[in-house]
Amino acid sequence: RKIATLEGTIEQQKYHIERLQESLARERNGHEQRVQELVTENKEHKLRICHLEGRLAEGVKQTSEKTNVSFTMQLMSDVERLRFYTGFSSAERFQRFVAFVSDGYKVYKEDQTGKGRPPTFSVEDQLILVLSRLRLGLLEKDLAYRYQVSLSTISRLCTFWVEFLADYLESTPIWPSRQVVDECMPSVFKELYPTTRVILDCTELYIEAPNDFRTQSDTFSAYKSHNTAKGLLGISPNGFVSFVSDLTPGRMSDKMLTQNSALYRLLEPGDFVMADRGFTIEEDLKERNVDLNIPPFLSGKPQLSCEDEVKTRKIAKGRVHVERVIAQVKSFRILKFVFRNSMSQLQNPTWKVCTLLCNFTSDPLLDRSEDLR
Provide the pLDDT for residue 318: 64
The DSSP line for 8-55 is: HHHHHHHHHHHHHHHHHHHHHHHHHHHHHHHHHHHHHHHHHHHHHHHH
Going 224 to 319 to 357 to 179, the CA torsion angle's sign is: negative
What is the domain extent for residue 344? 176-361
**Does a structural domain hold residue 337?**
yes
CATH number at residue 347: 3.30.420.10
Spatial separation of the C-alpha atoms in residues 162 and 41, rounded to whole Å = 50
Provide the pLDDT for residue 43: 85
Provide the pLDDT for residue 366: 43
**Does a structural domain hold residue 372?**
no
CB 226 within 8 A of CB 220: yes
Last residue of a domain, one of 47, 68, 89: 68
**Does a structural domain hold residue 352?**
yes
Pair (355, 255) in one structural domain: yes
- Helix, strand, or coil here: 206? strand
**Does a structural domain hold residue 367?**
no
Span of 191-195, 256-260, 361-365 with lowest mean pLDDT: 361-365
Beta-bridge mates of residue 220: 227
**Does a structural domain hold residue 105?**
yes
**Does a structural domain hold residue 370?**
no
User: Is 65 exposed, middle or buried (CB count within 10 Å of its CB: 0-12, 13-18, 19+)?
Assistant: middle
Spatial separation of the C-alpha atoms in residues 157 and 125, rounded to whole Å = 11
Helix axes 344-361, 91-110, angle to 10 degrees: 140
Q: Mean pLDDT over residues 58-69, rounded?
A: 56
Span of 32-41, 225-234, 267-276 with lowest mean pLDDT: 32-41
Provide the pLDDT for residue 370: 37
- The strand pair at 196-206 and 272-274 is best described as parallel
CB 354 within 8 A of CB 205: no
Last residue of a domain, one of 128, 147, 170: 170
Pair (264, 312) in one structural domain: yes
Contacts of 49 (CB under 8 A, 6+ apart): none
**Does a structural domain hold residue 366?**
no
CB 198 within 8 A of CB 234: yes
Span of 47-51, 158-162, 214-218, 297-301 with lowest mean pLDDT: 297-301
Spatial separation of the C-alpha atoms in residues 89 and 67, rounded to whole Å = 23
* Of 63, 147, 69, 162, residue with least CA distance to 115: 162
User: Is 123 exposed, middle or buried (CB count within 10 Å of its CB: 0-12, 13-18, 19+)?
Assistant: middle
Pair (123, 247) in one structural domain: no
Neighbours of 121 (CB within 10 A): 20
* Domain count for the chain: 3
**Does a structural domain hold residue 251?**
yes
* Of 191, 226, 206, residue with least CA distance to 318: 191
Mean pLDDT of the chain: 83
What is the reported pTM? 0.74
Tens digits of residue pLDDT in 232-275: 999 998 889 999 999 999 999 999 999 999 999 999 999 999 88
Identify the helix (H) or strand (E) that includes residue 126.
Answer: helix 123-136
Pair (236, 309) in one structural domain: yes
Spatial separation of the C-alpha atoms in residues 321 and 20, rounded to whole Å = 101
Q: Residues for the chain: how many in total?
A: 373
Pair (181, 240) in one structural domain: yes
